[in-house]
Amino acid sequence: MGAAPLGTYGTSVLVYDQQGLSYPVALAFEKTANNTWNAYTAVDGAAFGAPDFQISFNADGTIQPIGAQQVEIASPNGNFFVDLNFDNATQFGRSFGVTDLSQNGYEPGELTSMQIDESGVIMARYSNGESQAAGQIALVNFRNAQGLAPVGGNAWVATFASGAPIPGAPGEGNMGLLKSGAVEDSNVDLTAELVNMMTAQRAYQANAQTIKTQDQVMSTLLNMR
């Protein structure tokens, strides 16, 4: 039985240059001896050439570390190198398969959405599938919050009575947490306010009745002869 054709065992990954142009890198593996494989790379559809490096495995199936292997990529923006890392590769008595493949480059993308978590971190999501922390919202506290001075528009400014602002991040110390996209509930207790309204209405009726009674007394006095 002859050796398997080159490319039978392999995979591919996209890499990106400084401007985000993508280049497919094909990887092929050829078993040359027990626990020993040759690794080949081909960039942007080129044919496989001579082996680029060799991978060896221990008797328990773990790889013998070889460190990052560099592959040079020709780009209109200048040649660049990518590092291939196989430190988590294993060899066991089963069919060849790729269970995990990741790379840290990405193509250009536009901002599509933002989300703020409880700690105030602003996560920006882009059309290329990447997410990055764009910043963090800061909070401040005051030694005497009652000393703040209103300036209109639901805005307040620090005064000598309030003390200097004490900055901090949401969730730190006695700082509160943030809730993105939430609308604050009403701080009015409807049940209590309904009871207060009924009490006020009863008081008004009692006062009105007092005035009516006083008016009747005055009318009686004026009509006496």
B/e letters for 108-118, b = 16+ CB within 10 Å, e = fewer, are eeeeeeeebbe
Please tell me the class of the 9-84 domain: mainly beta
Tell me phi and psi for residue 210, to 5 degrees: -65, -45
The full set of domain ranges for the chain reads 9-84, 111-168
Q: Closest Cα to residue 125, out of 109, 114, 136, 137?
A: 114
Q: Is 110 helix (H, G, I), strand (E, B) or coil?
A: coil
* Residue 158: how many other CB atoms lie within 10 Å: 14
Model-level pTM greater than 0.75? Answer: no
Q: What is the pLDDT along the chain (225 residues), one digit of tens a residue?
A: 456 677 788 999 888 888 888 889 999 999 999 999 999 999 888 888 899 999 999 999 999 988 888 888 888 888 888 899 988 899 998 888 888 888 888 888 889 998 888 888 999 999 988 888 989 988 999 999 899 999 988 889 999 999 999 998 888 888 888 888 787 777 778 888 899 999 999 988 888 888 888 888 778 777 765
Which residue in the block uniquely carries the two structure tokens 């269970």? 99
Give the integer Cα–Cα distance in Å for 141 and 223.
70
Distance CA 124, CA 111 (A): 7
Helix (H/G/I), strand (E/B), else coil: 102: coil
